[in-house]
Chain A
Amino acid sequence: MNRRNFLKQSAFTTAGTMLIPHFLKAYESQMLGMGPAPTGKILVVVQLSGGNDGLNTVIPYRNDIYYRERPTIAIRPDKVLQLNDEIGLHPAMGPLKALYDEGLLTVINNVGYPNPDRSHFRSMDIWQTASDSDKYVNTGWVGRYLDAACAGKAQQPYRTIEVDDTLSLAMKGSELNGLAVLDPKKLYNQTRSSLVTGLSKERVQNHDAHEPESVSYLYKTLAETVSSADYVYEKVSRTSQPISSVPAGTVLTTYPNNELGNRLKTVSKLIQAGVDTSVYYVSISGFDTHINQPGQQERLLGQYAESVGAFMADLKIAGRQNDVMMMTFSEFGRRVKQNASNGTDHGTANNVFLIGGGLPARRVLNEAPNLTKLTDGDLTYSVDFRQIYATLLHDYLGADDVAILGRKFDGVKIV
């Protein structure tokens, strides 16, 4: 579909969603809503911004080079939560170790891409757009998934949700952008001002077929935002009232009171409310540990592990554990050799975690980092991150990975 047709069609459909009575909306969602993804699966992406030090997260606790290169920040072998006889988790990650023991965690080592870039913003761009490191792309991989999921159907930004106030590049498609929602009620209220509702109504009545494309685009975005905010808030407020719907004897999960905990709690609430969303995106920051890394990373990894532990426990109670997979990544790992300030500088390849999703976990998928075969003092990647994206898109979400990623990447054997 070319852009003009697309705009015509979406102007029509969005004009519809804003004013049609509820019974028609129900009809519409029966016709169009087919569950989150064709496979009924949900993906939750957790981004650790700042470049998490992978070597102190998944620790090669039998490797002399690791201890030699990191005399003051290495994690002592007896503290490590062992995964196998080579590697183990940071001691602050108890809840993650528990998930591993349950068979829910898969660790993928040495994930990166060719010609790595050590700048935060650039490397994050590369991960979010899934581009080659020498190309600049203005759409994100989740956004392009949304484009594909909504092609020829109703334009529903809420099919991919970022739990935040602003939208990451990862969530921007070429035809449609995902929805940023930190708090469904707050977003709903923002779209309920008399000006916004007045304009939306006026717009539907006086839509000018000859108006400039720029005007159509803004009003299309506004209409989609209003109807998405309405949809999400309605779903959440409808389900969150009756406590009686919780089976007797269930212990409600307590989330740790930190940013990631709060955001994952929102994701869980949206999933349990039956919101038609197949990809959620959440990020936390602070991993840029150039100075005094140990305390800072311990605190952050602790928050991460506790929040993820609570999230998975919550989903288990809700019986949704097998429908939801979480992927955790960071834009790069850090140098093998520590610096002079008890920290680490920007590096390249890193580990990725996959959790849940109802798959037989492979636990530790591939070889531990090879510290004798470094590239310019950094780990050498063996898995391209886009291989993981391709697998998640194709095998897990049932989407056309080649169309979304621009070419074929060999899958990794996780699904």
Chain B
Amino acid sequence: MDKLTRQQQTRHLFARAAFGATPAELTEADQKSLRKVVRQLFRDSEAVTELRVVEPEQNETKQQLKGMVRDGQLDKDMLKERIRENAEKVRDLNLLWIDRMATGKGALREKMALFWHGHFACRAQGRNPLLMQQYANTLRQNALGKFGDLLMAVSKEPAMLQFLNNQQNRKNAPNENFAREVMELFTLGRGNYSEHDIKEAARAFTGWQFTPEGQFVFRERVHDEGEKTIFGKTGPFKGEDVIAMLLENRQTARFVTAKIYRFFVNENEDKKRVDELADQFYKSGYDITGLMEQIFSADWFYDPKNIGAHIKSPVELLAGLRHTLGVQFDQPQPQIFVQRTLGQLLFYPPNVAGWPGGKNWIDSSSLLFRMQLPNYVLKAADVLVRPKEDGDVNTQLLARKGNAKFRTTVNWADFEKAFINTPDAGLTNALAETLLPFPLRPDQKTVLESQLKPGQTRPERIHTLTAAIMSLPEYQLT
């Protein structure tokens, strides 16, 4: 591909820094300088509105509910119902977040938070929706701030402490899981610490616990106050000291920047460029906004080799499709079904390393399903696929019936308006330019147009062509 047109540049920016753009957003952005559009994206993401599906004071953990049964406040059936309601709230949280991504308001913040969800991977344990709600809001709140604040906050999240077994990490009975993942996955990456560092850091993190109400608490009586030697330094360190040491280490900036580069720019790392970015990131005191603005403003970000190099994750695909066409789902279950079938269910990453991404998203069945997705969402086509059950009774609720009922409302009117002045002959290409990272090949255009039926009205033609373009393998890329 040759150098990008301005429209392609705008498209690329929205595809990576947000969940794509509507034709109207693209047109509007093209009136301004690219630099201004970048600034605008950050400005639109300054405000944060919490995700809220459960009120902290109303939340009851399973243990508390069981206590109420013992006290005679609840009978067995009521208990079952309350536990079910709790599990349903994790699902509601998932859908609420997808809604936020899809509306496009503050999309950069949501995109960044999605990245951090994979980086600070944490999986819903048991059925406590409050912990996941707090975790999600911490990611979103700190998504564009200082990495150090984010690292500290998310490390102290009850959901994370539970997931990484730090409740079991006690003086004289250390559990190294938390300390290991903080170094291996959150900051330094494999090979940049010793087993001794982990052992000693685990001791420093003893006492980092949380209350039944979901509040972080430092429990002095289980904390190991002795001296520890970590990265060659000796002292009676606490958890906060370890976090500070990790931030002091330039390798943390290098590791995090490389991961951001692979997610937002290109899976194939450009070593020199990442080194430069990491240097700047470190010098700025880990300012995430600064780093991202530098990336989105760089000429090389718009290099043809970066265009269409990223395979959309299932959540990016779903949120992007919804955003472009203003799609609303009438029922909650289909969006869970899509996430499960394609392998990215929010709040259930496969393991502490997060979603592997890239070509791991694609195999024969997931590709066919992705190519069929527009027909489900836009045409309510019958769904013939069933996702696997993982065998865990806790996620059974997410595997409920109602998968195949795709009933949606599509805002075609706004979408059609953008093409009102496009001549009939140019319609296919014009649609493709807003929906795809690459121009259509002439024969591809012919195949797409063969989907049209004689006598279709213009809106019908737009619907048919849009669904067909969204079914292309190229639509999976951005």
Chain A residues proximal to chain B, CB less than 8 Å: 48-51, 120-122, 124-125, 134, 136, 138, 157, 164-169, 171-172, 177-180, 186-187, 190-191, 194-196, 198-199, 202, 205-206, 208, 212-215, 217-219, 221-222, 224-225, 228-229, 283, 285-288, 290, 331
CB pair A218 B367 closer than 8 Å: yes
Q: Which residues in B have their C-beta under 8 angstroms from that of A224? A: 364
Q: Which residues in A have their C-beta under 8 angstroms from that of B391? A: 48-51, 120, 124, 285-288, 331
| Pairs across A and B, CB under 8 Å, 15 listed | A48-B391, A124-B391, A136-B351, A165-B388, A167-B363, A167-B364, A169-B350, A180-B364, A199-B444, A199-B473, A214-B310, A215-B438, A218-B367, A221-B362, A288-B393
B404 interface residue (CB < 8 Å to A): no
Interface residues of B in 323-359 (CB under 8 A from A): 341, 343, 348, 350-353, 356, 359
* Top 8 A-B pairs, shortest CB-CB distance: A50-B391, A49-B391, A198-B447, A225-B364, A218-B473, A285-B389, A177-B363, A136-B353
Nearest-neighbor residue (CB-CB) of A49 within chain B: B391
Q: How far is the CA of A195 from the CA of B449 in the complex (A)?
A: 10
Q: Which residues in B have their C-beta under 8 angstroms from that of A214? A: 308-311, 359, 477
| Contact pick for A225, options B348, B351, B368, B443, CB 8 Å | B368
CB pair A218 B366 closer than 8 Å: no
B56 interface residue (CB < 8 Å to A): no
CB pair A186 B477 closer than 8 Å: no
Q: Which residues in A have their C-beta under 8 angstroms from that of B180? A: 134
Q: Which residues in A have their C-beta under 8 angstroms from that of B473? A: 199, 215, 218-219, 222
CB pair A166 B352 closer than 8 Å: no
B28 to chain A, nearest CB (A): 28
Interface residues of B in 300-320 (CB under 8 A from A): 305, 307-311
CB pair B363 A195 closer than 8 Å: no
Q: Which residues in B have their C-beta under 8 angstroms from that of A290? A: 393
CB pair B364 A168 closer than 8 Å: no
Count of B residues near A, CB < 8 Å? 52
Q: Which residues in B have their C-beta under 8 angstroms from that of A225? A: 364, 367-368
CB pair B392 A121 closer than 8 Å: yes
CB pair A166 B472 closer than 8 Å: no
Q: How far is the CA of A167 from the CA of B366 in the complex (A)?
A: 8
Given contacts A167-B365, A198-B450, 9 further A-B contacts (CB under 8 A): A50-B392, A121-B390, A136-B353, A195-B451, A195-B468, A202-B444, A208-B441, A217-B359, A221-B362
B371 interface residue (CB < 8 Å to A): yes
CB pair A221 B363 closer than 8 Å: yes
Nearest-neighbor residue (CB-CB) of B477 within chain A: A214
Q: How far is the CA of A198 from the CA of B364 in the complex (A)?
A: 18
Q: Which of B363, B367, B371, B386 has most chain A Cβ within 10 Å? A: B363
Nearest-neighbor residue (CB-CB) of B365 within chain A: A180
B360 interface residue (CB < 8 Å to A): yes
* Given A136-B351, A199-B472, A124-B364 contact (CB < 8 Å): no
How many A-B pairs have beta carbons closer than 8 Å: the answer is 144
CB pair A191 B368 closer than 8 Å: yes
Q: How far is the CA of A214 from the CA of B360 in the complex (A)?
A: 12
Chain B residues proximal to chain A, CB less than 8 Å: 123, 180, 305, 307-311, 341, 343, 348, 350-353, 356, 359-360, 362-368, 371-372, 384-393, 438, 441, 443-444, 446-447, 450-451, 468, 471-474, 476-477
Q: Mostly helix, strand, loop or mixed at chain B's interface? A: loop
B444 to chain A, nearest CB (A): 6
* Given A49-B389, A165-B385, A218-B362 contact (CB < 8 Å): yes
Q: Which residues in B have their C-beta under 8 angstroms from that of A180? A: 363-365
A376 to chain B, nearest CB (A): 11
Q: Which residues in B have their C-beta under 8 angstroms from that of A177? A: 363-364
Nearest-neighbor residue (CB-CB) of A180 within chain B: B365
Q: Which residues in B have their C-beta under 8 angstroms from that of A125? A: 350-351
Q: How far is the CA of A206 from the CA of B305 in the complex (A)?
A: 20
Q: How far is the CA of A167 from the CA of B362 in the complex (A)?
A: 10
CB pair A218 B390 closer than 8 Å: no
Q: How far is the CA of A199 from the CA of B352 in the complex (A)?
A: 38
Q: Which residues in A have their C-beta under 8 angstroms from that of B443? A: 202, 205-206
Q: Which residues in B have their C-beta under 8 angstroms from that of A217? A: 359, 362
| Contact pick for A212, options B308, B343, B356, B387, CB 8 Å | B308
| Contact pick for A285, options B308, B311, B388, B468, CB 8 Å | B388
Nearest-neighbor residue (CB-CB) of A205 within chain B: B443
Q: Which residues in A have their C-beta under 8 angstroms from that of B352? A: 136
Nearest-neighbor residue (CB-CB) of B268 within chain A: A213
B425 to chain A, nearest CB (A): 20
Q: Which residues in B have their C-beta under 8 angstroms from that of A208? A: 441
Q: Which residues in A have their C-beta under 8 angstroms from that of B367? A: 218, 221-222, 225
B161 to chain A, nearest CB (A): 16
Q: How far is the CA of A338 from the CA of B328 in the complex (A)?
A: 47
CB pair A172 B368 closer than 8 Å: no
Q: How far is the CA of A191 from the CA of B365 in the complex (A)?
A: 11
Q: How far is the CA of A213 from the CA of B307 in the complex (A)?
A: 11
Q: Which residues in B have their C-beta under 8 angstroms from that of A288? A: 391-393
CB pair A124 B363 closer than 8 Å: no
Nearest-neighbor residue (CB-CB) of A48 within chain B: B391
Nearest-neighbor residue (CB-CB) of B176 within chain A: A134
